[in-house]
Amino acid sequence: MRISELMTKDLETIEADAPLRLAAERMRSFGIGALPVMDGDQLVGMLTDRDITVRATAAGKDPNRTPVREAMTHTVITCDADAPLSEAEHLMEEKAVRRLVVLDTYKKPVGLISLDDLATVPGEAKHTGEVLRELNTPQ
């Protein structure tokens, strides 16, 4: 099975200069916990609900004035839409992340694949559990 067959295709993104409040509102309205961050048509980061909490709220930053770029994670782990699911699993385990931004052949973001998505595939649940255990083991 290919990543493109399992990924979430309705990709929501946020601009790097948007205020954190807009990002939080978008996460709430779509029921998601992460947004790829764009600067024009370039992928420049990933913002999670945890990033907002730890890097902004806990630091006393104003969510109406603080841009997404100040709280986002700058390193984004990506995978190709046409790659097999095993590549997504390998990247998640190797990079200790729970989600990957999926890119098309032009290196543009077209989706998101998560550890939860992989757990829905028959025969993959055991391996996904092993990856999750690895992610939760202190280094």
Q: What is the DSSP string of 29-71?
A: HHT-SEEEEEETTEEEEEEEHHHIIIIIITTT--TTTSBGGGT
Q: What angle do helix axes 125-135 and 85-95 make, rounded to 10 degrees? A: 20
Task: Provide the pLDDT confidence category of residue 110 given band limits of 50, 70 and 90.
Answer: very high
Nearest alpha-carbon partner for 79 in 58, 57, 65, 94: 94
Assign a CATH topology to domain 3-135: CBS-domain (3.10.580)
Task: Provide the pLDDT confidence category of residue 128 given band limits of 50, 70 and 90.
Answer: low
- What predicted TM-score, i.e. pTM, was given to this entire model? 0.86
Tens-digit pLDDT profile for residues 5-14: 999 999 999 9
Tens-digit pLDDT profile for residues 47-79: 999 999 999 999 999 999 999 999 999 999 999
H helices, E strands: number in the chain: 6, 6
Q: Give the span between the Cα atoms of 123 and 130, in whole angstroms.
A: 13
Nearest alpha-carbon partner for 55 in 39, 69, 41: 69
Domain edges within the chain: 3-135
Tens-digit pLDDT profile for residues 75-97: 999 999 999 999 999 999 999 99
